[in-house]
Amino acid sequence: MPLLHGSLTLARFLIHGGAPRRLDQGVIDKLADHAIGRRKEPGDGIDAGWSGGLHVLDTTFDLSKNVLDDCLHFGLRIDTARCPPELMRAYVRMELEALLADRPDARPTARHRRAARDAARRRAELEIRQGRFRRMREYSVMIDSPRDTLLIAATSSSVHEQLHPLFKATFGKRLEPLTSGRLAWRYAEEQGQMRRLENLSPAEFVKFPGGEGQPGVYWTLHDPASRDFLGNEFLLWLWWKADEEGGEIALPDASQAAVVFVRQLVLECPWGQNGKDSILADGPARLPEARRAIRGGKLPRRAGLIVQHRGEQFEFGLLAESLAVSGANLPKPDEKDRNGSEPDPRERIGRIRDLCTAIDGLFGAFLKQRLEGEFADRVKIVRWLKSVD
């Protein structure tokens, strides 16, 4: 999936210790040293390495191609090689038949079956080494040096699991996902509200039907320090703003943003009792089933949004906990300014930064309300939830 053209999908990571400041030949050499194919016969059937970024078979790196002003663009390629299960079963059956060829009436024993499986596995491993069953996937990666962040065009945890150790081996630095909780910790540190965030618990918009108190948000309970539930509250807060106040929101940098819910809405019960609703429609937040879901206590986990900020319009899907973006349509450069030439990737990078700034600004506006005082907007949201049809 590309970052520099087409529909945009991205997840962001903080680079602990800072991104490389000098994007020189030394950085290019580090990428080349960990390019795809440098590992010797990975035992797990998965090989991960860097690619040049132009296409899935590009394994060359150079300054003119990979360095774009203060950003470094390249690719993460993940090769998987596994024998299809139905083919492996066929190999086992064929090996078993070969073992019993001289005794067609004999019944296979456990020893025969074990020998057939071992022979089939050796055959599959040989074919894998010969290049069969290989599946190649490439994901666009960009290091934004001034912002000490890494962007990758993938939201899947399985892709991120390959990214982390490879980045550590290449640059000697650790990546941390810039989730809603991590951004909240950074905001609280800047605003001197760390204690407030440490003591924060999920807001009660709808009373838990199972008794006194709130059991928490089940998808964040695995980590007591996680504040990723703030991403779910953020989307509900945006929904209320769009429904009650026309979606006009003042951001911390004194700019204004407008928000509209479009295309998709995924809601889930935070107590793990009433399942999940996935709604696909032009205006999903206005539909009766969506309103019944939030009145029943469900929280948004994903939403399609149109955001207007600083004269630009972005349409994208936003994942609540990770604040990852999917299917984003970025503003296109003016055709008159291009004079028929190919789009400048630097313009695209600027649009990506603008989108991230808009998302962070909206989330910052929410955190300002959430962390100050008694979260006065909660009372208004509760009143709104009781009134929605």
Average pLDDT, the chain: 91
Residue given tokens 């295309």 in the structure block: 263
Q: How confident is the model at residue 25 (pLDDT cuts 50, 70, 90)?
A: very high
Q: Which of the given ranges, 52-56, 232-236, 284-288, has the highest pLDDT on average?
A: 232-236
pTM of the model: 0.88
More confident residue, 373 or 317: 317
93-125: per-residue pLDDT in tens? 999 889 888 887 788 889 999 999 999 999 988
Q: Would you say 237 and 371 are in contact if contact means Cβ atoms under 8 Å apart?
A: no
Tokens 């000098």 label which residue? 22
Checking if the pLDDT of 40 tops 70, the result is no
How is 359-370 classified by DSSP, letter by letter?
Answer: HHHHHHHHHHHH
pLDDT average, residue stretch 249-278: 94
Tell me if 162 sits within 8 A of 49, measured CB to CB: no
- The confidence band for 325, taking pLDDT boundaries of 50, 70 and 90, is very high
Return all residues near 350 (Cβ < 8 A) that are at least 6 apart: none
Which stretches does DSSP call E strand in the chain?
8-15, 46-51, 67-68, 71-81, 134-144, 149-152, 175-177, 248-250, 256-268, 276-280, 299-309, 312-319, 325-329
What lies within 8 Å, CB to CB, of 88 at 6+ separation is: 120, 121, 124
pLDDT band at 162 (very low <50, low <70, confident <90, very high): very high
Task: Check if the beta carbon of residue 64 is closer than 8 Å to that of residue 39.
Answer: no
- pLDDT at residue 343 above 90? no
What is the 3 state secondary structure string of 226-286? CCCHHHHHHHHHHHHHHHHCCCEEECCCCCEEEEEEEEEEEEECCCCCCCEEEEECCCHHH
Name the residue among 307, 308, 262 with its Cα closest to residue 285.
262
pLDDT score, position 207: 87
Summarize the confidence of residues 368-385 as an average pLDDT.
90
CA–CA distances in Å: residue 287 to residues 22, 290, 296, 317: 51, 5, 15, 18
Nearest to 271 by CA among 181, 211, 198: 211
Q: Is residue 46 very low, low, confident or very high in pLDDT (cuts 50, 70, 90)?
A: confident
The domain spans of the chain are 8-82+133-178, 85-129, 182-387
